[in-house]
């Protein structure tokens, strides 16, 4: 048991020490997971995400005549597959809807985003009896890959040099992730920790999004209202940090990088093999693109079916 805790602490420390693509999860490359639906073998479903971002802000973060309001929406096919007791695969296929509105003109981009695949290995899944209750712990670690299936327009970057390079459907680069999920639950009260570190490569246009670290901690409680019905409210925090993007392997992009901290509240409902959920992310603190961008609150809805 001590060895398992030591492994967990080492993983958490290594992720937390890392410096971290895109601004505050908007645009391309967002991999917020939250609480996964309960499933024994496989699940498949749909997720919807809505995010907003103000760009072209003044040096002190004030609105200017060219300030733009950007909205990023995605409808995503997602699914998971447990292979035996030790391996798990998650897949994400997003279709993005990007909208930009400003006094100088509007823009819109719709299309397939970058497809991602993540593999996990279960380091441990342990259950201990504490009197009349059970203490359940699990730790999954793994890695993933994102492939450049979404369209990237280099002309967008050239036209918007004073704005984050977020208004894209994809990054045109093959990128990698390191992931960890830790869950501890005393009967129906639990805590979930999810960590993701995204390593980006340079695309064919000489642009490399900065590496990004995402972490969220959620406390939850499962109310079991019937034999096959449960409702689980949850609340916690989401922290994201990213280093600056780089052009031509040497020039840092000033309007990139930064960090944000959000309060998260949501609910998960499960009826037999069918699950639905929602969460709202309220941005409480941020410093993005040197103050030249400001992220709004976010909403995520999802549904899934275990089979």
Q: What angle do CA 71, 75, 76 make, to 5 degrees?
A: 130
Q: What is the value of pTM for the model shown?
A: 0.88
The pLDDT of residue 65: 86
Domain membership of residue 302 as a residue range:
2-306
| 155 phi/psi in degrees, rounded to 5 | -65, -25
The pLDDT of residue 26: 63
Instruction: Report in angstroms the alpha-carbon separations of 5 from 10, 123, 141, 150, 214.
Output: 9, 11, 14, 40, 22
Strand order in the sheet with 251-252: 207-208, 246-247, 251-252
The pLDDT of residue 29: 52
The pLDDT of residue 24: 59
CATH number at residue 49: 2.40.128
pLDDT tens per residue across all 307 residues of the chain: 544 544 444 444 334 333 334 665 565 555 678 888 888 899 999 999 999 999 888 877 788 888 999 999 999 999 999 999 999 999 999 999 999 998 888 999 999 999 999 999 999 999 888 888 889 999 999 999 999 999 999 988 876 666 788 899 999 999 999 999 999 999 999 999 999 999 999 999 999 999 999 999 999 999 998 888 999 999 999 999 999 999 998 899 988 999 999 999 999 999 999 999 999 999 999 999 888 899 999 999 999 999 9
Distance CA 132, CA 196 (A): 35
The pLDDT of residue 132: 83
Count of structural domains within the chain: 1
Considering only CA atoms, which of 184, 129, 128 is closest in space to residue 8? 184
The pLDDT of residue 300: 95
List Cβ neighbours of 100 (8 Å cut-off, separation of 6 or more): 68, 69, 70, 71, 106, 107, 108, 167
Considering only CA atoms, which of 195, 196, 204 is closest in space to residue 174? 204
């Amino acid at each position: 048991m001590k060895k398992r805790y030591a492994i967990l602490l080492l993983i958490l420390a290594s992720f937390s020490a890392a410096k971290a693509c895109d601004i505050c999860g908007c645009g391309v490359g967002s991999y917020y997971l939250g609480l996964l639906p309960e499933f024994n073998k496989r699940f498949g479903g749909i997720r919807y995400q809505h995010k907003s971002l103000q760009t072209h802000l003044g040096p002190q973060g004030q609105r200017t005549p060219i300030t733009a309001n950007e909205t990023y929406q995605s409808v995503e096919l997602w699914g998971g597959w447990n292979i035996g007791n030790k391996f798990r695969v998650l897949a994400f296929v997003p279709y993005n809807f990007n909208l930009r509105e400003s006094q100088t003109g509007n823009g819109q981009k719709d299309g397939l985003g970058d497809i991602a695949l993540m593999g996990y290995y279960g380091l441990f899944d342990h259950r201990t009896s504490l009197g009349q209750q059970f203490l359940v712990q699990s730790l999954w670690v793994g890695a993933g890959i994102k492939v450049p299936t979404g369209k990237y327009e280099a002309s967008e970057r050239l036209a918007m040099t004073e704005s984050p390079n977020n208004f894209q459907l994809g990054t045109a680069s093959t990128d990698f992730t390191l992931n960890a999920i830790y869950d501890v639950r005393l009967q129906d009260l639990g805590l979930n920790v999810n960590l993701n570190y995204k390593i980006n490569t340079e695309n064919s246009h000489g642009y490399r999004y900065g590496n990004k670290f995402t972490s969220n901690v959620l406390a939850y409680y499962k109310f079991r209202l019937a034999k096959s019905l449960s409702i689980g409210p949850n609340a916690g925090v989401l922290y994201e940090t990213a280093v600056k993007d780089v052009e031509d392997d040497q020039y840092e992009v000033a309007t990139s990088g930064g960090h944000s901290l959000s309060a998260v509240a949501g609910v998960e409902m499960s009826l037999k093999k069918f699950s639905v959920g929602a969460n709202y992310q309220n941005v409480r603190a941020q410093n993005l693109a040197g103050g030249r961008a400001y992220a709004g609150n976010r909403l995520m809805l999802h549904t899934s079916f275990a089979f």
